[in-house]
């Protein structure tokens, strides 16, 4: 599913995110969504979330 649309992402979903420091390399980090930080319904680079482990990044893939 598409990580650029806020309504596709729910707390508890497994997702792959890209961290700020990994944006150039595109390295993905897997985790479970704890908080959804982006307020707008869409974001071209991905919805920003906080994972349960505390990392913050933009959703690239939704695994569920």
For the 6-62 domain, the top CATH level (class) is: mainly beta
Q: Distance (Å, rounded) from C-alpha 42 to C-alpha 50?
A: 17
Q: How many residues does the chain have?
A: 64
Question: pTM value?
Answer: 0.92
Beta bridge partners of 46: none
Q: Distance (Å, rounded) from C-alpha 35 to C-alpha 17?
A: 13
Q: What is the pLDDT of residues 27-59, one digit of tens each?
A: 999 999 999 999 999 999 999 999 999 999 999
The backbone torsions φ and ψ at residue 22, rounded to the nearest 5 degrees and listed phi first, read: -105, 5
């Amino acid at each position: 599913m598409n990580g650029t649309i806020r309504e596709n992402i729910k707390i508890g979903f497994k997702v792959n995110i890209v961290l700020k420091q990994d944006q150039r390399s595109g390295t993905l980090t897997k985790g479970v969504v704890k908080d959804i930080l982006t307020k707008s319904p869409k974001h071209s680079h991905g919805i920003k979330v906080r994972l349960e482990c505390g990392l913050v990044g933009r959703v690239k893939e939704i695994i569920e």
